[in-house]
Amino acid sequence: MDPLRKVHEAHKNGLLPDKVHSLIVDRFGVTLAGIDRIEKASGINFPLAYIDPSIVTSHPNASSFDYGILFARTIPVISNNKLEIIIQITAPLVAFGLKGTIHAILAHEFLHYLELVRRISKMDIVSDEISSNLFESVYSDSTRLFEPRAVFNDKTLLLHITKKFPEGFRDYKLEDKVLKLWIQKKLPTINIALDTNIIKIPVDVLANTKIDPILLQKIERVEEKVSRLRKKKLY
């Protein structure tokens, strides 16, 4: 699968201007470098990922003026009655994000991926609902992830994650760029209400989903590291 296929299609269909398309393609190397960096820092393969030619904005509900920008999402997809996990990376992140920001967001989604695999392996994800409150969704988001220090051995990458995700991701310069250079220019935008963004996964799909035993072993080692880190905090 070509990670840029949807971007090329959007350009071909006139949804993305030539300059924007070229910028995304030219800067895609930063994303690839981030994926390679994460794999080296964790010893675990990055899941299937693609670049979506849209920005995703989220609203607590249809009548709210409050909204957030989602630069990437980890999405469970049911295919052939099995579960696959795909990371959706938005084109504006690729086009406008700084290297450290892109790598931090990719690492954050990678942590989501690992946690999701862990929960699937334990049949612990029959229904996963995102909160209808932006603050609560940030809070629940942070509580569902592995401690980054237990996953990555790249100190600079860890610093990027810590800076970008103290209490949920915020990068005001990037958000301002996306607002002015993407949303206000009427480029592809997906609006979702958080209270309708619900993932429901049937038990039989979980039962049919086979996870690489080597991946599970690596996740178990991460869990052991998390446990050791927690014990250190207690003493």
pLDDT digit string, tens, across residues 29-76: 999 999 999 999 999 999 999 999 999 988 655 554 456 888 998 888
Question: Mean pLDDT, to the nearest integer, of 161-179?
Answer: 81
Q: What is the pLDDT of residue 67?
A: 64
If pLDDT is split at 50, 70 and 90, which confidence band does 211 have? confident
Domains in the chain: boundaries: 5-234
Q: What is the pLDDT of residue 166?
A: 61
**What does pTM read for this prediction?**
0.86
Q: How far apart are CA 125 and CA 93, in angstroms?
A: 29
Least confident piece of the model among 14-28, 61-75, 96-110, 220-234: 61-75
Query: Quick check: 134 pLDDT over 50?
Result: no
CA dist list (Å): 116 to 19, 38, 47, 185: 37, 17, 12, 35
At a CB cut-off of 8 Å and minimum separation 6, what does 153 contact?
41, 42
